[in-house]
Structure 1
Amino acid sequence: YSPTPSPIPTIPTIHDIGYLQKPDEFNKKDFYQLKNWTYLSIKQAKHIVAVSEFTKNEIIKEYKISPQKISVIPNGITKFKKHTKTESAKIMHKFKITKPYFLSVGTLKPNKNYPFLIKAFSVFLSRQRANALSSQLVISGKKGWLFDEILKTVVDLKLQDSVIFTNYVTEKERNILFQNATATVLPSLYEGFGIPAIESQSFDTPVIVSDIPSYREILGNSGIYIDPNNEKSLIKALSNIKNNHSQNYKRYLWTQSATKLLHLFDNLK
């Protein structure tokens, strides 16, 4: 956030304004902090950077900002080399991953839609077991707010041995998890961008995502889309993984985003 008042011109980057769209998914302290600080940062800004056209349009709608005052500069990723089988084996052992697995990445909070994912995975797993198959679901992210329902869903469905929570992971651990997953599953209800989807593609791992505007914008036809309110839609996707070996991620490298940002700074001098 920008200091208020700021002694110099400011150019804040806004990732999303989900707190205005789904305020009931935030505790009161966080909601008012996000609402007030973002408002002040936007109102005093010389220019604004949004990470997607979706977020830009949300800002225009909510804050009545001129489109000319907002530039879209997407988030990016760093392309990493693949890790060895020995390195991967150590991480699989650390997190007790013993079967083919689906990966979901993100803080444990409501917009990530984890209870929906866990319930759909439970049905999928039952069908697998009927055919002498089995998988695990790995959820990688630290605890956020209102996460109790997520943990309760796992217990209620007796999936403690099949759903693995890694909590915080290092960059290397996260990359190894992406590299070895059957697919990455991101059934979010709301996102401003969605970096894990691009990261997954950079490791040639298929990505299953919600059919929401931000994912459509960044993935185009390279994602496997599901209805985030329909379990059957997700179960079908889990059962029919196809890897299109997309190179879409190459559009979202940090070096490209940095170049665009420097160009913006030069033009605003």
Structure 2
Amino acid sequence: MRIGIDCRYVRIGRHDGISRFTAGVVAHLPDRHDVVLLVSDERQRESLPAELPWELVPAPTEPGEPLVARHVNRLGLDAVFSPMQTMGSRGRRYALVLTLHDLIYYRNRTPPREFSWPIRLGWRAFHLAWWPQRMLLNGADGVVTVSETTAGLIAEHRLTRRPVTVAYNAADPAAVRPADGPRERSLVYMGSFMPYKNVETLAAALPLLGADWTLHCMSRVSDADRARLDALAPGAVVFHDGASDQEYLDTLRSATALVTASYDEGFGIPLVESMGVGTPVAVSDVPIFREIGGDVAEYFDPSSPSAVAAAVRRLEARWASASAASVTQAARFRWADSAERVLQAVERAVADRAR
């Protein structure tokens, strides 16, 4: 078969979650079929295997996205896999598998800040009802999602009649290497500063832990967010303002724990990255984090700074055993396994379409 992989969501310069998922799957696809990368900017190829052929396709943010199949049909593909659910399906002559990562924005309707205002407006309107999502997913032949938690929500809300396959997110194998050496009394947060991420609770927990604790915030931060967090824990929050991958891993490898007080998530790649280097995690007690962290993580009420501090202290008390168990837990999430599941979903979609 000749399979197209929609790589138009690969970020240029630095991955976000969907970009990393795309690159991880592409890099580990079994070689049972011919693969063609679909990009909208040649620079996206920098994060993808250089040996794979590629084709230029209009960007997913262009107005003609609902009719993008007109362009893809010309490529003579048997199937296409997209890491998003929004790829246009009208008029296609190939099997199509779409990805729904999470349902966060039905509960937290503030759109990502990097979007232009027309896209933000459309994004918000899209999440006011379930029927647009159903229409998109039922326009495909199969659906992939990244966790059993989201698969359960898809079933609960009856979002599709198509087969649903779980293909976990994972971590870069180069990152999954336990660290040696002493650990600092520091915590790491990797993620945005959107309201549902609830980073304020993490900052408010620092004074409860003691004056020698610090919180490393790795992502780019606005002046307003920086000021608000600094006021909650003066001098204790370290802002990396967009750390490189190496800086992030070095910080993880010297920290006591990775923490997140998010009220909602689609997965949580930083948990896998942190556990993979032997840094335990203390996280919100929400279903997706239970799925990833299992019995290894410490969990807390995300509305309570004192609960965050107590969870960190529990981790500190059993740090050596938690570190070893974290490495074992992280090994459950492998890009090779996820890529195989994606390819199986595509093969099933082609077979179903041929019937």
Q: TM-score, normalised by structure 2?
A: 0.62
Q: Which residue of 1 aligns with 2:29?
A: none
Question: Do structure 1's residue 10 and structure 2's residue 96 form an aligned pair?
Answer: yes
The answer to whether the 8 A contact 1:2-1:10 is kept is: no
Would the alpha carbon gap of residues 83 and 253 (structure 1) be closer, same or farther in structure 2, given more than 3 Å must change? Answer: closer
> Percent identity among equivalent residues?
24
Match of 2:138 in 1: 43
Q: Deviations over 1:184-212 (max 9, x none)?
A: 11111001111111110100001001110
Segments of 5+ residues of structure 2 without an aligned counterpart are 1-85, 351-355
- Structure 2 CA distance for aligned equivalents of residues 73 and 84 of structure 1: 28
Distance 1:148 1:48, change over 3 A: farther
Q: Which residue of 1 aligns with 2:336?
A: 255
| Correspondences of 1:17-166 after superposition (within 5 Å) | 17-24=103-110, 29-30=119-120, 32-33=122-123, 36=126, 39=133, 41-66=136-161, 69-80=163-174, 82=177, 100-124=185-209, 128-129=210-211, 134-143=212-221, 150-157=225-232, 159=234, 161-166=235-240
**How far 1:123 sits from its partner (Å)?**
2.5
Following TM superposition, by how much is the alpha carbon of 1:267 offset from its aligned partner in structure 2, in angstroms? 2.5
Q: 1:51 to 1:265 in 2, by over 3 A?
A: same
The 1:224/1:25 distance shift into structure 2, 3 A limit, reads: farther
- Confirm or deny: 8 A CA contact 2:142 2:345 kept in the other structure: no
How far the C-alpha of 1:252 sits from its partner, in A, is 0.3
CA distance in 2 between partners of 1:183 and 1:84 (Å): 13
1:174 matched to 2:174? The reply is no
Instruction: Tell whether 2:346 aligns with 1:265.
Output: yes
- Asked if structure 2 preserves the Cα contact closer than 8 Å seen for 1:120 and 1:234, the reply is yes
- Which has the greater radius of gyration? 2
Cα distance in 1, alignment partners of residues 164 and 233 from structure 2: 48
* Structure 1, unpaired ranges of 5+: 89-98
Q: Match for 1:252: what amino acid?
A: F
Change (3 A) 1:261 1:185: same
Q: Secondary structure at the match of 2:96?
A: coil
**What's the CA shift for 1:178?**
1.4
Say which SS state the counterpart of residue 192 (structure 1) adopts. Answer: coil
> Are the counterparts in 2 of residues 12 and 42 from structure 1 also a CA contact under 8 Å?
yes
Q: Which residue of 1 aligns with 2:298?
A: 224
AA aligned opposite 1:251: R
Query: How large is the Cα RMSD of the aligned pairs?
Result: 2.8
Q: Contact 2:187–2:256 at 8 Å: present in 1 too? A: yes
Q: Identify if the C-alpha distance between structure 1 residues 122 and 107 changes in structure 2 by more than 3 Å, giving closer, same or farther.
A: same
Residues 242-251 or 202-211, more deviating = 242-251
CA gap of 1:34–1:233, structure 2 versus 1, over 3 A, is same
Distance 1:23 1:170 in 2: 29
Deviations 1:135-168 (A, max 9, x none): 211011124xxx6764343343361x22011122
CA 1:6–1:228 in 2, change beyond 3 Å: closer, same or farther?
farther
Q: Contact conserved, 2:96 with 2:346, CA < 8 A, in 1?
A: no
How many residue pairs align between the two structures? 246
Q: Flag the 1:25–1:227 CA change in 2: closer, same or farther, 3 A.
A: farther
Paired AA for residue 333 in structure 2: Y
- Is the partner of 1:102 in helix, strand or coil? strand
AA aligned opposite 2:149: F
Does the aligned pair in 2 maintain the 1:118–1:153 contact within 8 Å? no
Q: 2:80 corresponds to which residue? A: none
Q: Which runs of 4+ in 1 moved over 4 A?
A: 24-29, 81-85
Higher helix share: 1
Whole-Å Cα distance in 2 between the matches of residues 53 and 84 of structure 1? 30
1:2 counterpart letter in structure 2:
M
